Amino acid sequence: MNDYERTVLRNVEKFGWHCTSVAPSNEDDDSPRFSYTVGLFQTFGASELIIFGLAGDTAHSILNIHVQRLAEGNPIPLDAPTYDLIERYPCVYVPVPRPIYNDYVFSALWYYAETEFPLHQLVWPNAQSKFPWHASADQGFRCTQPVLSEPPQ
């Protein structure tokens, strides 16, 4: 076990979850940045989350709001838009198909080993309240926040 894996285990034990943030490796890498949770399924029986396009500290803050609601026993429903995470903007949760996990959530896959766990993408709108799947959303925004499955209707 390496230092990072020990940190994941300590954070899940101490806080009930861990947040992993991934940024492009260099300026030539146009991959979007993303952050995801580890431990929500074990601690709360809740879906793990992934969010794209935000700095790690911003993503952690948004994910922490979701986790606090879980800890209070008042979870945010995953099947409807919510204004509880970003002031004045709705966010939606999109289920992520299992085959896509292998492209993003390595620490969660390591942590759960053979245990299956649910994963939802937390999708946020641009300043015009458009989601990446809206026809009027610009290409840059779409690249920053790829949607990993079919968007909600």
Q: Domain-by-domain residue ranges, the chain? A: 3-144
Tell me: the pLDDT tens digits for 8-49?
Answer: 999 999 999 999 999 887 777 778 999 999 999 999 999 999
Are 26 and 33 contacting, i.e. CB atoms less than 8 angstroms apart?
no
3-state SS, residue 117: coil
If phi > 0 it is left, if psi is from -120 to 50 it is alpha, else beta; for residue 131 that is beta
Q: Is the pLDDT of residue 2 over 80?
A: yes
Are 24 and 33 contacting, i.e. CB atoms less than 8 angstroms apart?
yes
Grade residue 65 by pLDDT with cuts at 50, 70 and 90.
very high
Q: What pLDDT does residue 27 have?
A: 75
Global pTM exceeds 0.75: yes
Q: Is the pLDDT of residue 153 over 70?
A: no
Strands 48-52 and 34-38, bridge-based pairing: antiparallel
Tell me: the pLDDT tens digits for 72-122?
Answer: 999 999 999 999 999 899 999 999 999 999 999 999 999 999 999 999 999
Hey, what's the torsion of the CAs at 68, 36, 34, 78, to 10 degrees? -60
